[in-house]
Amino acid sequence: MELPFYKIDAFTSRLFGGNPAGVVPLERWLPDKTLQAIAFENNLAETAFFLKEGDAYRLRWFTPTIEVDLCGHATLASGYVISHFLERNVRELRFDTMSGRLTVTRLDDAFVLDFPQRPARPVSAPAVGKALGSEPAAVLAAPR
């Protein structure tokens, strides 16, 4: 079986800049094991897989080793692929994900992600400064 594959540098306007993402449009869901094997083979930070569902897309993200519940750059990359190659010049895209509904709006060459807030609160975690090798002014944590 042959699947299309795009590799997109997101959050940059220069090739070889930004964050690379693999993007694989699907016509039906494949076994999780296959999606994970493809992401492992790609060896990119994330590979995104999506499938059209009604007026939205079901979107999933895989690192080389696990599925993750939220990824910005691979969502932007998916929006880019759809808008440039699949539904040319579509302006607004809806993605259903493990983090709920996410939208991407295309404004000329820019893509704007509409993501949920995850407000962070101050915490006491001296291990963070130790791990970074420099003491920060404050440490905050956001719920997952």
Partner 1 sequence: MELPLYQIDAFTDRLFAGNPAGVVPLKRALPDKTLQSIALENNLPETAFFLPEGDGYRLRWFTPVVEVDLCGHATLATAFVIAKFLDPSRREMSFETRSGRLTVRRMGDVFVLDFPVRSPEPVDAAAVGRALGRKPATVWRSFAYMAVFDSWDDVAALVPDMPAVAALGTLGVIATAPGRGGIDYVSRFFAPGAGIPEDPATGSSHCALMPYWAERLGRKRLASRQISARGGDFECELAGDRVRIGGHAVCYLKGSVTVDV
Which residues of the chain form contacts with partner 1 (CB under 8 A)?
5, 7, 9, 15-16, 20, 37, 40-41, 43-44
Of residues 13 and 117, the one with the C-beta less far from partner 1: 13
**Least distance in angstroms from the C-beta of 92 to partner 1:** 27
**Least distance in angstroms from the C-beta of 59 to partner 1:** 21
Of residues 24 and 102, the one with the C-beta less far from partner 1: 24
12-22 per-residue burial string, b: 16 or more CB within 10 A, e: under 16 = eeeeeebbbbb
The C-alpha atoms of residue 87 and residue 98 are separated, in whole angstroms, by: 24
The single residue of 2, 41, 46, 135 carrying the catalytic annotation is 46
Confirm whether 2 is a catalytic residue. Answer: no
Active site residues: 46
